[in-house]
Chains A and B, each alone.
Chain A
Amino acid sequence: MSFIAAEGQPSVTPSDPPMTPLLSARDLHRSYPGQQALAGVSLSLQRGDILGLLGRNGAGKSTTLRLLAGVLRPDRGHVQLNGESLHMRHATRARIGFLPERPPLYPELRVDEYLRFAARLRGVPRPRLRQAVDDIIERCGLGARRKRLCGQLSKGYRQRVGIAQAAVHDPDVLLLDEPGNGLDPVQNQDIRALLKELATSRAIVLSSHVLPDIEALCNRVLLLRQGRVVFESRLPLANGERHLLLQTADADSASIGAIDGIASVSVQAPGCFALTLADEATPAAVVRALCRAGIAIHSLCPAGNRLEQLFAETDDNA
Protein backbone atom coordinates (compact mmCIF):
# COMPACT_ATOMS: atom_id res chain seq x y z
CA MET A 1 0.00 0.00 0.00
CA SER A 2 1.50 3.34 -0.92
CA PHE A 3 1.28 6.10 1.56
CA ILE A 4 1.30 9.85 0.96
CA ALA A 5 2.22 12.13 3.79
CA ALA A 6 0.31 15.29 4.56
CA GLU A 7 3.05 17.41 3.04
CA GLY A 8 2.79 15.53 -0.21
CA GLN A 9 6.03 13.61 0.34
CA PRO A 10 5.56 9.93 -0.42
CA SER A 11 6.65 7.61 2.35
CA VAL A 12 6.47 3.92 1.67
CA THR A 13 6.63 1.46 4.53
CA PRO A 14 9.53 -0.96 4.23
CA SER A 15 7.36 -4.05 3.63
CA ASP A 16 5.35 -2.54 0.75
CA PRO A 17 6.61 -3.04 -2.78
CA PRO A 18 6.25 -0.01 -5.08
CA MET A 19 3.05 -0.32 -7.13
CA THR A 20 1.19 1.83 -9.65
CA PRO A 21 -1.67 3.25 -7.65
CA LEU A 22 -5.19 2.35 -8.70
CA LEU A 23 -6.35 5.91 -8.08
CA SER A 24 -4.00 8.80 -7.57
CA ALA A 25 -4.63 12.47 -7.11
CA ARG A 26 -1.82 14.96 -7.10
CA ASP A 27 -1.81 18.51 -5.85
CA LEU A 28 -5.53 19.09 -6.36
CA HIS A 29 -6.54 22.72 -6.20
CA ARG A 30 -10.07 23.93 -6.62
CA SER A 31 -11.72 27.23 -5.88
CA TYR A 32 -15.28 28.51 -6.01
CA PRO A 33 -16.06 32.21 -6.36
CA GLY A 34 -14.56 33.86 -3.27
CA GLN A 35 -13.48 30.61 -1.68
CA GLN A 36 -10.50 28.28 -1.94
CA ALA A 37 -12.10 24.85 -1.49
CA LEU A 38 -9.01 22.68 -1.96
CA ALA A 39 -5.37 23.65 -1.79
CA GLY A 40 -2.97 20.88 -2.76
CA VAL A 41 -4.64 17.63 -1.78
CA SER A 42 -2.81 14.48 -2.82
CA LEU A 43 -3.77 10.90 -2.21
CA SER A 44 -3.16 7.48 -3.57
CA LEU A 45 -5.19 4.27 -3.34
CA GLN A 46 -4.71 0.60 -4.07
CA ARG A 47 -7.33 -2.11 -4.47
CA GLY A 48 -8.59 -3.12 -1.03
CA ASP A 49 -7.97 0.29 0.51
CA ILE A 50 -10.83 2.01 2.28
CA LEU A 51 -9.87 5.62 2.82
CA GLY A 52 -11.94 7.72 5.18
CA LEU A 53 -12.10 11.47 4.54
CA LEU A 54 -12.61 13.36 7.75
CA GLY A 55 -13.13 17.02 8.36
CA ARG A 56 -15.61 19.60 9.49
CA ASN A 57 -18.25 21.06 7.23
CA GLY A 58 -16.57 23.02 4.44
CA ALA A 59 -13.24 21.26 4.92
CA GLY A 60 -13.24 20.10 1.30
CA LYS A 61 -14.43 16.49 1.60
CA SER A 62 -17.27 16.71 -0.93
CA THR A 63 -15.17 18.78 -3.33
CA THR A 64 -12.41 16.14 -3.14
CA LEU A 65 -14.89 13.39 -3.93
CA ARG A 66 -16.45 15.35 -6.80
CA LEU A 67 -13.01 15.96 -8.27
CA LEU A 68 -12.11 12.28 -7.94
CA ALA A 69 -15.41 11.36 -9.60
CA GLY A 70 -14.79 13.70 -12.53
CA VAL A 71 -17.86 15.82 -11.76
CA LEU A 72 -15.59 18.83 -11.31
CA ARG A 73 -12.34 19.73 -12.98
CA PRO A 74 -9.44 20.75 -10.75
CA ASP A 75 -8.01 24.23 -11.21
CA ARG A 76 -4.62 22.59 -10.78
CA GLY A 77 -3.41 19.04 -10.30
CA HIS A 78 -4.73 15.84 -11.79
CA VAL A 79 -6.56 12.64 -11.04
CA GLN A 80 -5.44 9.37 -12.59
CA LEU A 81 -7.04 5.96 -12.59
CA ASN A 82 -4.48 3.25 -13.32
CA GLY A 83 -2.33 5.92 -14.91
CA GLU A 84 -5.08 7.32 -17.18
CA SER A 85 -6.26 10.88 -16.73
CA LEU A 86 -9.84 11.03 -15.52
CA HIS A 87 -10.49 14.38 -17.14
CA MET A 88 -9.01 13.58 -20.52
CA ARG A 89 -10.90 10.36 -21.23
CA HIS A 90 -14.62 10.09 -20.54
CA ALA A 91 -14.40 6.30 -20.73
CA THR A 92 -12.15 6.19 -17.66
CA ARG A 93 -15.11 7.28 -15.55
CA ALA A 94 -16.83 3.97 -16.25
CA ARG A 95 -14.47 2.46 -13.66
CA ILE A 96 -15.60 4.81 -10.93
CA GLY A 97 -18.81 4.69 -8.93
CA PHE A 98 -19.98 7.80 -7.13
CA LEU A 99 -22.58 8.38 -4.46
CA PRO A 100 -23.10 12.13 -3.95
CA GLU A 101 -24.11 13.53 -0.58
CA ARG A 102 -27.79 13.23 -1.51
CA PRO A 103 -28.57 9.96 -3.28
CA PRO A 104 -29.31 11.03 -6.87
CA LEU A 105 -32.62 9.19 -7.21
CA TYR A 106 -35.48 9.81 -9.63
CA PRO A 107 -38.70 9.45 -7.61
CA GLU A 108 -40.76 8.35 -10.65
CA LEU A 109 -38.53 5.37 -11.43
CA ARG A 110 -38.80 1.94 -9.85
CA VAL A 111 -35.66 0.66 -8.12
CA ASP A 112 -34.80 -1.82 -10.87
CA GLU A 113 -35.51 0.74 -13.62
CA TYR A 114 -33.26 3.21 -11.88
CA LEU A 115 -30.43 0.71 -11.45
CA ARG A 116 -30.78 -0.34 -15.10
CA PHE A 117 -30.44 3.33 -16.03
CA ALA A 118 -27.36 3.73 -13.82
CA ALA A 119 -25.79 0.60 -15.33
CA ARG A 120 -26.48 1.77 -18.90
CA LEU A 121 -25.13 5.21 -18.08
CA ARG A 122 -21.88 3.64 -16.85
CA GLY A 123 -21.55 1.62 -20.02
CA VAL A 124 -22.59 -1.89 -18.91
CA PRO A 125 -23.19 -3.78 -22.18
CA ARG A 126 -26.77 -4.83 -22.92
CA PRO A 127 -26.20 -8.62 -22.52
CA ARG A 128 -24.81 -8.08 -19.01
CA LEU A 129 -27.34 -5.48 -17.95
CA ARG A 130 -29.94 -7.75 -16.34
CA GLN A 131 -27.31 -9.79 -14.50
CA ALA A 132 -25.53 -6.66 -13.21
CA VAL A 133 -28.80 -5.22 -11.87
CA ASP A 134 -29.91 -8.53 -10.31
CA ASP A 135 -26.50 -8.98 -8.67
CA ILE A 136 -26.38 -5.55 -7.10
CA ILE A 137 -30.00 -5.80 -5.94
CA GLU A 138 -29.13 -9.01 -4.15
CA ARG A 139 -25.88 -7.70 -2.67
CA CYS A 140 -27.55 -4.56 -1.40
CA GLY A 141 -30.56 -6.40 0.02
CA LEU A 142 -33.03 -4.63 -2.24
CA GLY A 143 -34.86 -7.72 -3.51
CA ALA A 144 -38.11 -6.93 -1.69
CA ARG A 145 -38.03 -3.33 -2.89
CA ARG A 146 -37.01 -3.78 -6.53
CA LYS A 147 -40.44 -2.82 -7.88
CA ARG A 148 -40.98 0.07 -5.48
CA LEU A 149 -40.83 3.64 -6.76
CA CYS A 150 -37.64 5.34 -5.57
CA GLY A 151 -39.76 8.20 -4.22
CA GLN A 152 -41.54 5.82 -1.84
CA LEU A 153 -38.44 4.37 -0.19
CA SER A 154 -37.37 5.01 3.41
CA LYS A 155 -34.17 6.95 3.98
CA GLY A 156 -32.19 3.78 4.69
CA TYR A 157 -33.31 2.15 1.47
CA ARG A 158 -32.69 5.32 -0.53
CA GLN A 159 -29.14 5.23 0.75
CA ARG A 160 -28.86 1.56 -0.22
CA VAL A 161 -30.15 2.30 -3.70
CA GLY A 162 -27.66 5.18 -3.90
CA ILE A 163 -24.81 2.81 -3.04
CA ALA A 164 -26.21 0.21 -5.44
CA GLN A 165 -26.20 2.69 -8.35
CA ALA A 166 -22.59 3.53 -7.56
CA ALA A 167 -21.56 -0.13 -7.57
CA VAL A 168 -23.86 -1.61 -10.24
CA HIS A 169 -21.17 -1.54 -12.94
CA ASP A 170 -18.60 -3.21 -10.67
CA PRO A 171 -16.24 -0.22 -10.61
CA ASP A 172 -12.63 -0.32 -9.46
CA VAL A 173 -13.16 2.68 -7.21
CA LEU A 174 -16.19 3.63 -5.14
CA LEU A 175 -16.53 7.22 -3.95
CA LEU A 176 -19.15 7.67 -1.26
CA ASP A 177 -20.09 11.01 0.21
CA GLU A 178 -21.56 10.49 3.68
CA PRO A 179 -22.97 7.02 3.03
CA GLY A 180 -24.29 6.78 6.60
CA ASN A 181 -25.92 10.19 6.49
CA GLY A 182 -29.13 10.39 8.52
CA LEU A 183 -29.42 6.67 9.16
CA ASP A 184 -30.53 5.09 12.41
CA PRO A 185 -28.03 2.77 14.19
CA VAL A 186 -29.52 -0.42 12.71
CA GLN A 187 -29.50 0.98 9.18
CA ASN A 188 -25.99 2.23 9.78
CA GLN A 189 -24.84 -1.27 10.77
CA ASP A 190 -26.39 -2.64 7.59
CA ILE A 191 -24.65 -0.04 5.44
CA ARG A 192 -21.33 -0.76 7.15
CA ALA A 193 -21.70 -4.47 6.45
CA LEU A 194 -22.60 -3.72 2.84
CA LEU A 195 -19.59 -1.46 2.35
CA LYS A 196 -17.25 -4.01 3.90
CA GLU A 197 -18.57 -6.58 1.49
CA LEU A 198 -18.16 -4.22 -1.47
CA ALA A 199 -14.65 -3.29 -0.39
CA THR A 200 -13.22 -6.75 -0.88
CA SER A 201 -12.49 -6.23 -4.57
CA ARG A 202 -12.05 -2.50 -5.02
CA ALA A 203 -10.83 0.72 -3.44
CA ILE A 204 -13.30 2.89 -1.56
CA VAL A 205 -13.09 6.52 -0.52
CA LEU A 206 -15.79 7.66 1.85
CA SER A 207 -16.40 10.85 3.71
CA SER A 208 -18.11 11.01 7.06
CA HIS A 209 -18.51 13.06 10.18
CA VAL A 210 -19.08 9.89 12.17
CA LEU A 211 -15.72 8.80 13.58
CA PRO A 212 -16.89 5.32 14.68
CA ASP A 213 -17.95 4.71 11.05
CA ILE A 214 -14.48 5.62 9.83
CA GLU A 215 -12.81 3.48 12.50
CA ALA A 216 -15.07 0.53 11.78
CA LEU A 217 -14.75 0.63 8.00
CA CYS A 218 -11.52 2.23 6.92
CA ASN A 219 -7.93 1.07 6.85
CA ARG A 220 -6.70 4.61 6.16
CA VAL A 221 -7.83 8.03 7.22
CA LEU A 222 -7.17 11.47 5.81
CA LEU A 223 -8.09 14.56 7.76
CA LEU A 224 -8.88 17.75 5.85
CA ARG A 225 -9.05 21.27 7.12
CA GLN A 226 -9.73 24.29 4.97
CA GLY A 227 -8.94 22.35 1.84
CA ARG A 228 -5.63 20.96 3.05
CA VAL A 229 -4.58 17.55 4.32
CA VAL A 230 -3.57 18.04 7.94
CA PHE A 231 -3.16 14.39 8.87
CA GLU A 232 -3.05 11.04 7.18
CA SER A 233 -2.61 7.66 8.77
CA ARG A 234 -3.41 4.00 8.60
CA LEU A 235 -6.15 2.51 10.69
CA PRO A 236 -6.76 1.05 13.12
CA LEU A 237 -4.81 3.48 15.22
CA ALA A 238 -3.46 1.39 18.03
CA ASN A 239 -5.77 0.99 21.02
CA GLY A 240 -5.67 -0.24 24.63
CA GLU A 241 -3.17 -0.41 27.45
CA ARG A 242 -0.70 -2.56 25.52
CA HIS A 243 -0.62 0.00 22.73
CA LEU A 244 1.09 3.36 22.75
CA LEU A 245 1.49 6.10 20.23
CA LEU A 246 4.99 7.53 20.03
CA GLN A 247 5.93 10.75 18.30
CA THR A 248 9.59 11.27 17.62
CA ALA A 249 11.62 12.84 14.89
CA ASP A 250 14.91 11.02 15.17
CA ALA A 251 14.22 7.32 14.91
CA ASP A 252 12.89 4.84 12.40
CA SER A 253 10.70 1.82 12.93
CA ALA A 254 13.64 -0.56 12.83
CA SER A 255 15.54 1.17 15.66
CA ILE A 256 12.38 1.50 17.74
CA GLY A 257 11.48 -2.14 17.14
CA ALA A 258 14.87 -3.17 18.53
CA ILE A 259 14.10 -1.62 21.93
CA ASP A 260 13.49 -4.07 24.79
CA GLY A 261 9.84 -4.46 25.74
CA ILE A 262 8.45 -3.46 22.33
CA ALA A 263 6.82 -6.40 20.55
CA SER A 264 5.97 -4.61 17.33
CA VAL A 265 5.99 -1.19 15.76
CA SER A 266 4.14 0.27 12.83
CA VAL A 267 4.37 3.63 11.13
CA GLN A 268 1.16 5.62 11.53
CA ALA A 269 2.41 8.82 9.90
CA PRO A 270 5.82 10.42 9.45
CA GLY A 271 7.35 10.61 12.93
CA CYS A 272 4.40 8.81 14.48
CA PHE A 273 4.67 5.15 15.50
CA ALA A 274 2.18 2.76 17.07
CA LEU A 275 3.92 0.51 19.59
CA THR A 276 2.64 -2.79 20.92
CA LEU A 277 4.28 -3.72 24.19
CA ALA A 278 5.62 -7.15 24.96
CA ASP A 279 3.64 -9.11 27.57
CA GLU A 280 6.04 -8.47 30.44
CA ALA A 281 6.82 -4.84 29.57
CA THR A 282 5.37 -1.76 31.25
CA PRO A 283 5.07 1.70 29.68
CA ALA A 284 7.53 3.09 32.26
CA ALA A 285 10.11 0.45 31.35
CA VAL A 286 9.69 1.21 27.66
CA VAL A 287 10.16 4.94 28.27
CA ARG A 288 13.36 4.22 30.12
CA ALA A 289 14.56 1.93 27.33
CA LEU A 290 13.78 4.58 24.70
CA CYS A 291 15.73 7.19 26.66
CA ARG A 292 18.65 4.80 27.05
CA ALA A 293 18.65 4.29 23.28
CA GLY A 294 18.88 8.06 22.83
CA ILE A 295 15.48 8.43 21.15
CA ALA A 296 13.95 11.84 21.88
CA ILE A 297 10.32 11.37 22.86
CA HIS A 298 8.11 14.22 21.66
CA SER A 299 5.02 12.54 23.02
CA LEU A 300 3.98 9.13 24.19
CA CYS A 301 0.39 8.38 25.00
CA PRO A 302 -2.09 5.52 25.20
CA ALA A 303 -3.61 4.91 21.84
CA GLY A 304 -7.27 4.65 22.92
CA ASN A 305 -9.74 6.93 21.05
CA ARG A 306 -6.89 8.24 19.00
CA LEU A 307 -9.00 9.22 16.04
CA GLU A 308 -11.22 11.41 18.14
CA GLN A 309 -8.17 12.94 19.84
CA LEU A 310 -6.44 13.53 16.54
CA PHE A 311 -9.55 15.10 15.07
CA ALA A 312 -9.78 17.50 18.02
CA GLU A 313 -6.02 18.19 18.12
CA THR A 314 -5.58 18.89 14.46
CA ASP A 315 -8.66 21.04 14.48
CA ASP A 316 -7.28 23.08 17.38
CA ASN A 317 -3.76 23.32 16.00
CA ALA A 318 -4.54 24.06 12.38
Chain B
Amino acid sequence: MKALLYKDLIQLFASPLAWILLAIEQFVLAWIFLLQLDQFQAVQTRIGLNPNQAVIQPLYLNAALILLFIVPLLGMLGFSLERRNGALDLLLSSPASPTALVFGRFIALLAWLLPAILLCLAMATSLALGAAIDLPRLFAGAFALLLCAALYAALTIWLSTLGDQPLATAAAAIGAILLLWLIGDSRAAGGVFSWLGIEAHFTRLAAGDLNAGDLGYFLALGCGALLAATFQLQRSRET
Protein backbone atom coordinates (compact mmCIF):
# COMPACT_ATOMS: atom_id res chain seq x y z
CA MET B 1 0.00 0.00 0.00
CA LYS B 2 2.82 2.38 0.95
CA ALA B 3 4.62 1.78 -2.35
CA LEU B 4 1.69 2.97 -4.43
CA LEU B 5 0.95 5.77 -1.96
CA TYR B 6 4.50 7.20 -2.21
CA LYS B 7 4.62 6.72 -5.96
CA ASP B 8 1.28 8.43 -6.52
CA LEU B 9 2.26 11.34 -4.29
CA ILE B 10 5.52 11.81 -6.20
CA GLN B 11 3.57 11.66 -9.46
CA LEU B 12 0.97 14.15 -8.25
CA PHE B 13 3.61 16.56 -6.98
CA ALA B 14 5.44 16.25 -10.31
CA SER B 15 2.30 16.74 -12.35
CA PRO B 16 1.61 20.23 -13.73
CA LEU B 17 -2.06 19.24 -14.03
CA ALA B 18 -2.36 18.73 -10.27
CA TRP B 19 -0.79 22.12 -9.49
CA ILE B 20 -2.89 23.90 -12.10
CA LEU B 21 -6.08 22.35 -10.73
CA LEU B 22 -5.11 23.28 -7.18
CA ALA B 23 -4.37 26.85 -8.27
CA ILE B 24 -7.68 27.15 -10.14
CA GLU B 25 -9.57 25.77 -7.14
CA GLN B 26 -7.97 28.25 -4.75
CA PHE B 27 -8.43 31.18 -7.10
CA VAL B 28 -12.12 30.46 -7.66
CA LEU B 29 -12.74 29.84 -3.96
CA ALA B 30 -10.93 33.02 -2.95
CA TRP B 31 -12.97 34.99 -5.45
CA ILE B 32 -16.24 33.55 -4.17
CA PHE B 33 -15.12 34.03 -0.56
CA LEU B 34 -14.38 37.72 -1.13
CA LEU B 35 -17.70 38.25 -2.90
CA GLN B 36 -19.59 36.64 -0.03
CA LEU B 37 -17.60 38.55 2.53
CA ASP B 38 -18.47 41.75 0.72
CA GLN B 39 -22.17 40.86 0.73
CA PHE B 40 -22.01 39.80 4.37
CA GLN B 41 -20.48 43.12 5.37
CA ALA B 42 -23.19 44.94 3.48
CA VAL B 43 -26.13 43.16 5.12
CA GLN B 44 -24.88 41.96 8.51
CA THR B 45 -25.86 45.09 10.40
CA ARG B 46 -29.40 45.06 8.98
CA ILE B 47 -30.43 41.40 9.36
CA GLY B 48 -27.97 40.12 11.96
CA LEU B 49 -26.53 37.13 10.04
CA ASN B 50 -23.70 35.18 11.62
CA PRO B 51 -20.56 34.60 9.51
CA ASN B 52 -20.82 30.82 9.74
CA GLN B 53 -24.14 30.82 7.93
CA ALA B 54 -23.46 33.70 5.58
CA VAL B 55 -19.89 33.02 4.47
CA ILE B 56 -18.41 29.77 5.73
CA GLN B 57 -21.18 27.33 4.86
CA PRO B 58 -21.53 28.69 1.29
CA LEU B 59 -17.72 28.58 0.99
CA TYR B 60 -17.69 24.87 1.86
CA LEU B 61 -20.58 24.20 -0.48
CA ASN B 62 -18.78 25.95 -3.33
CA ALA B 63 -15.59 24.07 -2.50
CA ALA B 64 -17.50 20.77 -2.67
CA LEU B 65 -18.86 21.75 -6.08
CA ILE B 66 -15.42 22.74 -7.42
CA LEU B 67 -13.87 19.51 -6.11
CA LEU B 68 -16.55 17.69 -8.07
CA PHE B 69 -14.53 18.54 -11.19
CA ILE B 70 -11.03 18.49 -9.72
CA VAL B 71 -11.03 15.07 -8.07
CA PRO B 72 -12.08 13.16 -11.22
CA LEU B 73 -9.49 15.05 -13.28
CA LEU B 74 -6.76 14.03 -10.84
CA GLY B 75 -8.08 10.53 -10.27
CA MET B 76 -8.44 9.73 -13.97
CA LEU B 77 -4.66 9.20 -14.12
CA GLY B 78 -5.01 6.11 -11.93
CA PHE B 79 -5.84 2.56 -12.90
CA SER B 80 -7.30 3.41 -16.29
CA LEU B 81 -4.06 5.01 -17.50
CA GLU B 82 -2.08 2.14 -16.01
CA ARG B 83 -4.28 -0.37 -17.79
CA ARG B 84 -3.67 1.54 -21.00
CA ASN B 85 0.12 1.80 -20.75
CA GLY B 86 0.70 -1.69 -19.34
CA ALA B 87 1.70 -0.59 -15.84
CA LEU B 88 -1.29 -2.40 -14.36
CA ASP B 89 0.56 -5.67 -15.08
CA LEU B 90 3.35 -4.43 -12.85
CA LEU B 91 0.89 -3.84 -10.01
CA LEU B 92 -0.99 -7.11 -10.49
CA SER B 93 2.21 -9.16 -10.63
CA SER B 94 3.34 -7.72 -7.30
CA PRO B 95 2.65 -9.31 -3.91
CA ALA B 96 0.40 -6.35 -3.02
CA SER B 97 -3.25 -7.34 -2.76
CA PRO B 98 -5.88 -5.46 -4.78
CA THR B 99 -7.18 -4.03 -1.49
CA ALA B 100 -3.75 -2.59 -0.68
CA LEU B 101 -3.45 -1.14 -4.19
CA VAL B 102 -6.86 0.52 -4.04
CA PHE B 103 -6.38 1.93 -0.54
CA GLY B 104 -2.84 3.13 -1.35
CA ARG B 105 -4.19 5.06 -4.31
CA PHE B 106 -7.16 6.37 -2.33
CA ILE B 107 -4.99 7.69 0.50
CA ALA B 108 -2.56 9.31 -1.96
CA LEU B 109 -5.40 11.14 -3.70
CA LEU B 110 -6.83 12.21 -0.38
CA ALA B 111 -3.41 13.34 0.83
CA TRP B 112 -3.12 15.54 -2.25
CA LEU B 113 -6.60 16.99 -1.63
CA LEU B 114 -5.84 17.71 2.01
CA PRO B 115 -3.90 20.94 1.28
CA ALA B 116 -6.82 22.17 -0.84
CA ILE B 117 -9.18 21.53 2.08
CA LEU B 118 -6.78 23.07 4.60
CA LEU B 119 -6.39 26.18 2.45
CA CYS B 120 -10.17 26.45 2.33
CA LEU B 121 -10.24 26.05 6.12
CA ALA B 122 -7.55 28.74 6.47
CA MET B 123 -9.61 31.06 4.33
CA ALA B 124 -12.65 30.50 6.54
CA THR B 125 -10.61 30.81 9.74
CA SER B 126 -9.29 34.20 8.60
CA LEU B 127 -12.79 35.53 9.32
CA ALA B 128 -12.01 35.18 13.01
CA LEU B 129 -9.79 38.23 12.66
CA GLY B 130 -12.81 40.45 12.23
CA ALA B 131 -15.89 38.53 13.32
CA ALA B 132 -17.07 36.13 15.98
CA ILE B 133 -17.21 32.70 14.37
CA ASP B 134 -18.31 29.37 15.77
CA LEU B 135 -15.03 27.39 15.59
CA PRO B 136 -16.46 23.89 16.24
CA ARG B 137 -18.91 24.38 13.38
CA LEU B 138 -16.08 25.72 11.22
CA PHE B 139 -14.02 22.55 11.76
CA ALA B 140 -17.08 20.33 11.39
CA GLY B 141 -17.66 21.94 8.00
CA ALA B 142 -14.07 21.25 6.92
CA PHE B 143 -14.53 17.64 8.04
CA ALA B 144 -17.67 17.43 5.89
CA LEU B 145 -15.65 18.73 2.95
CA LEU B 146 -13.01 16.07 3.58
CA LEU B 147 -15.70 13.36 3.63
CA CYS B 148 -17.15 14.72 0.41
CA ALA B 149 -13.70 14.74 -1.27
CA ALA B 150 -13.11 11.20 -0.02
CA LEU B 151 -16.37 10.05 -1.58
CA TYR B 152 -15.44 11.69 -4.89
CA ALA B 153 -12.01 10.05 -4.76
CA ALA B 154 -13.47 6.61 -4.02
CA LEU B 155 -15.99 6.90 -6.87
CA THR B 156 -13.29 8.07 -9.31
CA ILE B 157 -10.95 5.23 -8.33
CA TRP B 158 -13.71 2.69 -8.79
CA LEU B 159 -14.60 4.07 -12.23
CA SER B 160 -10.91 4.11 -13.21
CA THR B 161 -10.77 0.33 -12.65
CA LEU B 162 -13.49 -0.24 -15.23
CA GLY B 163 -11.74 0.87 -18.42
CA ASP B 164 -8.56 2.12 -20.04
CA GLN B 165 -9.61 5.61 -21.12
CA PRO B 166 -8.63 8.27 -18.56
CA LEU B 167 -10.84 10.97 -20.07
CA ALA B 168 -13.82 8.64 -20.13
CA THR B 169 -13.10 7.87 -16.46
CA ALA B 170 -13.10 11.58 -15.61
CA ALA B 171 -16.30 12.20 -17.57
CA ALA B 172 -18.04 9.22 -15.97
CA ALA B 173 -16.94 10.29 -12.49
CA ILE B 174 -18.10 13.87 -12.98
CA GLY B 175 -21.39 12.56 -14.32
CA ALA B 176 -21.87 10.15 -11.41
CA ILE B 177 -21.09 12.77 -8.78
CA LEU B 178 -23.32 15.36 -10.48
CA LEU B 179 -26.09 12.79 -10.46
CA LEU B 180 -25.62 12.33 -6.72
CA TRP B 181 -25.94 16.09 -6.25
CA LEU B 182 -29.05 16.31 -8.43
CA ILE B 183 -30.83 13.13 -7.40
CA GLY B 184 -31.73 14.28 -3.91
CA ASP B 185 -32.90 17.63 -5.22
CA SER B 186 -35.43 16.21 -7.68
CA ARG B 187 -39.13 16.72 -6.96
CA ALA B 188 -39.70 13.08 -7.83
CA ALA B 189 -37.08 11.97 -5.40
CA GLY B 190 -38.16 9.99 -2.42
CA GLY B 191 -37.00 7.08 -0.30
CA VAL B 192 -33.74 5.63 -1.53
CA PHE B 193 -33.21 8.35 -4.16
CA SER B 194 -33.63 11.04 -1.59
CA TRP B 195 -31.16 9.28 0.71
CA LEU B 196 -28.66 8.90 -2.16
CA GLY B 197 -28.48 12.64 -2.81
CA ILE B 198 -25.32 14.24 -1.43
CA GLU B 199 -26.67 17.71 -0.88
CA ALA B 200 -28.83 17.19 2.20
CA HIS B 201 -26.17 15.09 3.95
CA PHE B 202 -23.40 17.52 3.11
CA THR B 203 -25.39 20.63 4.07
CA ARG B 204 -26.23 19.27 7.50
CA LEU B 205 -22.63 18.24 8.19
CA ALA B 206 -21.21 21.51 6.80
CA ALA B 207 -23.54 23.41 9.16
CA GLY B 208 -21.88 21.59 12.05
CA ASP B 209 -24.65 19.07 12.65
CA LEU B 210 -22.52 15.92 12.95
CA ASN B 211 -24.90 12.96 13.03
CA ALA B 212 -24.52 9.25 12.48
CA GLY B 213 -26.93 9.15 9.55
CA ASP B 214 -24.98 11.61 7.43
CA LEU B 215 -21.59 10.22 8.45
CA GLY B 216 -22.90 6.75 7.63
CA TYR B 217 -23.96 7.95 4.19
CA PHE B 218 -20.45 9.08 3.26
CA LEU B 219 -18.84 6.00 4.82
CA ALA B 220 -21.26 3.59 3.14
CA LEU B 221 -20.92 5.07 -0.34
CA GLY B 222 -17.16 5.64 -0.03
CA CYS B 223 -16.41 2.17 1.29
CA GLY B 224 -18.81 0.66 -1.24
CA ALA B 225 -16.94 2.34 -4.10
CA LEU B 226 -13.56 1.22 -2.75
CA LEU B 227 -14.78 -2.35 -2.32
CA ALA B 228 -16.15 -2.30 -5.86
CA ALA B 229 -12.74 -1.07 -7.08
CA THR B 230 -11.01 -3.89 -5.20
CA PHE B 231 -13.41 -6.44 -6.63
CA GLN B 232 -12.92 -5.05 -10.14
CA LEU B 233 -9.12 -5.23 -9.87
CA GLN B 234 -9.37 -8.81 -8.65
CA ARG B 235 -11.71 -9.57 -11.51
CA SER B 236 -9.31 -8.14 -14.06
CA ARG B 237 -7.08 -11.15 -13.36
CA GLU B 238 -9.92 -13.33 -14.60
CA THR B 239 -11.00 -11.41 -17.70
Seen from chain A, the residues whose Cβ lies within 8 Å of a Cβ on chain B are: 66, 69-73, 90-94, 96, 98, 100-106, 108-109, 113, 117-118, 120-123, 165
Interface status of B94 (Cβ within 8 A of chain A):
yes
B89 close to A121 (CB less than 8 A): no
Whether A71 contacts B96 in the complex (CB less than 8 A), given A101-B86, A120-B2, comes out as: no
A69 close to B237 (CB less than 8 A): no
Nearest-CB distance from B95 to chain A (Å)? Answer: 4
Whether A98 contacts B93 in the complex (CB less than 8 A), given A105-B87, A117-B6, A120-B6, comes out as: yes
Q: How far is the CA of A122 from the CA of B86 in the complex (A)?
A: 17
Q: How far is the CA of A105 from the CA of B7 in the complex (A)?
A: 12
Q: Which residues of A contact B237 (CB under 8 A)?
A: 70-73
Q: Which residues of B contact A101 (CB under 8 A)?
A: 86
Q: How far is the CA of A103 from the CA of B89 in the complex (A)?
A: 10
A69 close to B89 (CB less than 8 A): yes
Nearest-CB distance from A205 to chain B (Å)? Answer: 13
Q: Which residues of A contact B91 (CB under 8 A)?
A: 121
B95 close to A122 (CB less than 8 A): yes
Q: B7 — nearest CB in chain A belongs to which residue?
A: A117
A117 close to B87 (CB less than 8 A): no
Contact of B3 among A70, A72, A121 (CB under 8 A): A121
B96 close to A121 (CB less than 8 A): yes
B238 close to A73 (CB less than 8 A): yes
B95 close to A71 (CB less than 8 A): no
A108 close to B14 (CB less than 8 A): yes
A109 close to B87 (CB less than 8 A): no
Interface status of B126 (Cβ within 8 A of chain A):
no
A69 close to B86 (CB less than 8 A): no
Q: Which residues of A contact B88 (CB under 8 A)?
A: 104
Interface status of B11 (Cβ within 8 A of chain A):
yes
B90 close to A104 (CB less than 8 A): yes
A109 close to B95 (CB less than 8 A): no
Q: How far is the CA of A68 from the CA of B88 in the complex (A)?
A: 16
Q: How far is the CA of A90 from the CA of B11 in the complex (A)?
A: 26
Q: How far is the CA of A105 from the CA of B4 in the complex (A)?
A: 14
Q: Which residues of B contact A121 (CB under 8 A)?
A: 3-4, 90-91, 94, 96
Q: How far is the CA of A205 from the CA of B94 in the complex (A)?
A: 17
B85 close to A109 (CB less than 8 A): no
A70 close to B7 (CB less than 8 A): no
Q: Which residues of B contact A103 (CB under 8 A)?
A: 86
Of residues 13 through 32 on chain B, the ones whose CB sits less than 8 Å from some CB of chain A are: 14-15
